[in-house]
Chains A and B, each alone.
Chain A
Amino acid sequence: MNYDAIVIGAGANGLAAAHYLARAGTRVLVLEQHQTADPSADIGWVPDAVIRDLGLSDAGLRIEAPDPWITAPLPAGGTLELSRDVGRSAEAIRRISPGDAAKWPDFCRRMRTLASVLERLYLVPPPDIESTDARELVRIAGLGLYVRRRGKQTVIDLARILPMSIAELLDDWFESDVLKGLLGALGIWHLKQGPRSGGTAFNFLHHHAGCATGVFRPARSNVTQTLSKLAGVEIRRGARATVLAKNGKATGVVLENSGETIEAPLVVSSAPPRATLEPLAIELYPDFARAVSNIRARGVVARGTLTLEQSPAYSTFCIAPSLDYLERAYDDIKYGKDSSAPYVEVQRTDGRVEVHVQFVPPGTHDALADRVAQILKVRPNQLALQPAEESLYHGELTLDQILFMRPVPGWSRYRTPIEGLYLCGSGTHPGGGIPGAAGRNAAREIL
């Protein structure tokens, strides 16, 4: 069997790219290193365009919309629950701070407007600021005009807020530690930064993209599962592939276990850029090679499951009692240790209870389960946690690693110096937490 294209990785982005290519008449083979599919839920905004283009609604896509969307313990006992309804959330906040409650609706509106600008930027290739092509310049001007039309305040907010720290942003608005803690956690989500680090306000808005007004946790869905059941592409599991290239051109892949070679003129990898590129002779392109080796993708999260006798009453339970708590959790990892008091979030999803623990450096951690169990008031054997070796996003979402700087500066259009080799994973624009967007953008760029 001959293939026109091989896609490496059967995650949401790999599968989305494969289906877009298949729909354009390309014979596509998807190679996935793991034998069985990851049962954990997909986290993040599934763009409407992907749902529509690939008919995912009819294929069984379920996007969860829990209400309330978050529950956080209060220091004096009881909990703060925030609802999808902005007014109801404001009522809940009023019990801990009337001042914060009054500002809540306006905060939600302002953040939604800013996230909508990101949404617009995320579904097209990043602006090529070096381009001299008139069409690209017109496109960039169009994006500028789009932002400007959202109002003067939006331009100012974007310039002011994106480089800010989430702590500064939240301190500008609110006084309640609990509220700032649960919002601030989204600013450091999957990032090796504390809430006082610049750029964390951007990370916050990035994860607000695709959310409803007043909801500050990315949606959970079964998008990868849905894509993998969709007809049109062949998926081979348990096949760890390395790209083959000759004379600066991709020729196919070789499978690690069998040594089998599969040829194709087009290889699209959703694996991390460094893992895809470093086995190749990219030292022939020294600047590119150096940029690839400089990608920061440090693992800071342990994920896993919590086994409970009965399904919990909450949808998402967040332990991030204050910005200082998050900052101290970050201090530990700066010096190579896991947080002595980590940020912990528990999510109920599809009969499972998933756990996110931050900050945890890669490696084994004997005491981690004990510590998290103590925080959650459960037994250690109820927890199964796995520290990530590398950032789940294949590249941290910091201001120097987004848009035309992602995955490496000057190579943001999904191409590589190897002809016929493309990238389409979270390591490319628009990055992690938006399942399917990079795959779609890459496929459209290839086509």
Chain B
Amino acid sequence: MKQYDAIVIGGGHNGLVTAAYLARAGKSVLVLERRPRVGGAAVTEEIFPGFKFTMFSYVVSLLRPEIIRDLDLPRHGLHILPLESTVTPMENGDYFAAWGDHDETRRELYRHSPRDAEAYDEYGRLMHFMAQAVKPILGMVPPDPTSFAPSDLIGLLKLGKHFRGLGGERLHALVKLMTMSSADFLDEWFETDVLKATKSASGIIGTFLGPRSPGTAYVLLHHYMGELDGVFRAWGFAKGGTGAVSESIASAARSFGAEIRCDAGVAKVLVRNGRATGVVLENGDELQAKTVVSSLDPRRTFLQLLESDQLPSEFVSDIKRFKFRGSSGKVNLALDSLPSFTCMPGIGRQHRGAFSISPSLEYVERAYDDAKYGEFSRRPYMDIVFPSMIDPGMAPPGKHVMSIFVQYAPYNLNGGWTDAKREAFGDAVVNTVESFAPGFKSKILHRQVITPLDIERITGLSEGNIFAGELALHQLFFLRPAPGWAKFATPVRGFYQAGSGTHPGGGIMGASGRLAAMRILKDGVGA
């Protein structure tokens, strides 16, 4: 029977990145994907005839540039189109718009508050700098502060030196970003409520927190680290949807010799004498490998693929404690024609960007309040894009697709999710959009509503958490996913973790997958 150098469990973007890097280094690699297609939560599917949807994740910006370069992804079909604007309709019929052109945004902000227009540049410079300062951390294996090993001590010293090198003011800003709520952080800079609401919205994405909850300023920064063609805070849309990103990584992996098998769910990791020797598929087939890598989330990786007696009990309880609490849903619509928003009537360039339904901080905070007590938001925060406006291939001629990211929809809904509750959630979303764009509902041809439970069922992400584990301060860096095991290795020899549940976390970033591959290559396959 063939023994692979490495078997990668899960064909999401991180698993594919790991596989590509291992194959590029000359290893024999097999990727096993449970679903009929690769991509995990980054997939494009034709849900309704002629209408293609980025089912779950819908924008790209965090993908690490070194990965794009190392794997030569543009040659494998990666093509990112810019999302040019964000328009926030307000309850009073006005709007706030951020355009691709910096001066235009500044003029728009000036209309709301001359003071904020002044602060905007300085704020942008600071966030740009902070993102630059944190970026090296994304590509770094987190040192373990509880260890006295020389490599950890050196890592800590380097980290200390890096941060001290920032200088007082920026160091303080970093502490604030790590600890504050996005609303409090933005309150220090701006007075325009709609601006703060729209900016703070990127601090709540994927979290079970409101804009006034401490810890959200970090997620704000996390989303600021997006870098496309070296331009910060440039969100993009992949031609062909996010599935095309996954396909390009898969194509790169294949070009290096990796084998990818779909419809091949893994039931268990085989462990003999404390080391991983291969996997058992759901159909009972056994496959052998010197190294096994899981890109599934920590709960699935450790509590499902292994038996708990194969792991230290302390570690098992740490993993059980790791929080998921999915809070996001998605509504995908096929449209007969584009909706016109009251605040900016007609069809125009605004439809090539995003619409953010975040009219005020109070609106977003109240959306969170509903979820806190186990209900979906009656008037949710939404991030809306029309992929067919950027990439016409996504819908039949003249028709459109509309992607609505929705928060909050708690995984643990009171009474549990049912088909009726899913539809009620979809109605809340559609009715809220209708209130900002009258006549919109009549343009809907088909509707797909995805709850966190659906995300879990389809992609396998526990509790439907889009980051494979909450990006909370106590679940980052050397604590992701568990203290002492944040360096991609696991308590089982020859078994590694590579998903977004490891440092540095979620988004279509690929950093976890790359760092895991580096670690495996350093240890040596079969070590």
* Chain A residues packing against B (C-beta within 8 Å): 129-130, 148, 152, 155-156, 159-161, 163-164, 168, 172, 193, 196-199, 287, 290, 294, 296, 324, 327, 331, 334-335, 398-400, 405, 409-410
Contact = CB atoms under 8 A, between A and B. Distances in A.
B176 A198 contact: no
B184 interface: yes
B193 interface: no
A334 B363 CA distance: 12
Contact of B214 (A198, A287, A334): A198
8 contacts: A130-B168, A159-B479, A163-B214, A193-B214, A197-B213, A294-B188, A399-B214, A410-B169
B171 A168 contact: no
B179 A199 contact: yes
B212 interface: yes
B323 A163 contact: no
A324 B369 CA distance: 11
A410 B474 contact: no
Contacts of A163: 179, 214-215, 472-474
A130 B178 CA distance: 17
Interface of B: 145-146, 163-164, 167-169, 171-172, 175-176, 178-181, 184, 188, 209, 212-215, 321, 323, 362, 365, 369, 372-373, 472-474, 478-479, 483-484
Given A294-B188, A400-B175, A410-B168, 16 more contacts: A155-B146, A164-B472, A164-B474, A172-B321, A193-B214, A197-B214, A198-B179, A198-B213, A198-B215, A331-B369, A334-B365, A335-B362, A400-B184, A405-B172, A405-B175, A410-B169
A398 B179 contact: yes
A350 B484 CA distance: 50
A410 B172 contact: yes
Given A327-B372, A335-B362, A198 B171 contact: no
A57 to B, nearest CB: 38
Given A129-B164, A400-B176, A409-B175, A198 B472 contact: yes
Nearest to A131: B164
Contacts of B473: 163, 198
Contacts of A172: 321
Q: Does more than half of chain A's interface fall in helix, strand or loop, or is it mixed?
A: helix
Contacts of B321: 172
Contacts of B171: 129-130
A199 B214 contact: yes
Nearest to B477: A159
Contacts of B472: 163-164, 198
A38 B169 CA distance: 39
A152 B362 CA distance: 42
Contacts of A193: 214
A140 to B, nearest CB: 9
Contacts of B180: 398-400
B393 to A, nearest CB: 43
Nearest to B217: A400
B208 to A, nearest CB: 9
A410 B167 CA distance: 11
A155 B144 CA distance: 10
Contacts of B164: 129-130
B146 A152 contact: yes
Task: Rank and list the top 10 A-B pairs by shortest CB-CB distance, nearest first.
Answer: A409-B172, A399-B179, A163-B473, A198-B214, A198-B215, A156-B483, A152-B146, A400-B179, A160-B474, A199-B214
A89 B525 CA distance: 54
A156 B473 CA distance: 13
Nearest to B166: A130
A287 B478 contact: no
B483 A398 contact: no
A334 B213 contact: no
Nearest to B145: A155
A252 to B, nearest CB: 31
Contacts of A324: 373
A400 B372 CA distance: 24
A334 B323 contact: no
A248 B145 CA distance: 43
A70 B171 CA distance: 42
Contacts of A199: 179, 214-215
Contacts of A331: 369
A331 B214 CA distance: 15
Nearest to A164: B474
Contacts of A290: 188
A335 B215 CA distance: 20
Which residue among B188, B369, B474 has the maximum number of chain A CB atoms within 10 Å of its CB?
B474
Contacts of A410: 168-169, 172
Contacts of A398: 179-180, 214
Contacts of B478: 159
A420 B408 CA distance: 52
A334 B362 CA distance: 9
B324 to A, nearest CB: 13
A296 B175 CA distance: 16
A168 B484 CA distance: 21
A400 B473 CA distance: 13
A398 B479 CA distance: 21
A329 to B, nearest CB: 13
Contacts of B172: 405, 409-410
B465 to A, nearest CB: 15
Nearest to A331: B369
A428 B323 CA distance: 34
Contacts of B168: 130, 409-410
Given A159-B478, A405-B175, A196 B146 contact: no
A197 B472 CA distance: 11
A325 B190 CA distance: 32
A334 B184 contact: no
Nearest to A398: B214
B412 to A, nearest CB: 12
A156 B146 CA distance: 7
A156 B181 CA distance: 23
A398 B163 CA distance: 21
Which residue among A163, A172, A287, A331 has the maximum number of chain B CB atoms within 10 Å of its CB?
A163
B289 to A, nearest CB: 32
Contacts of A129: 163-164, 171
Nearest to B212: A334
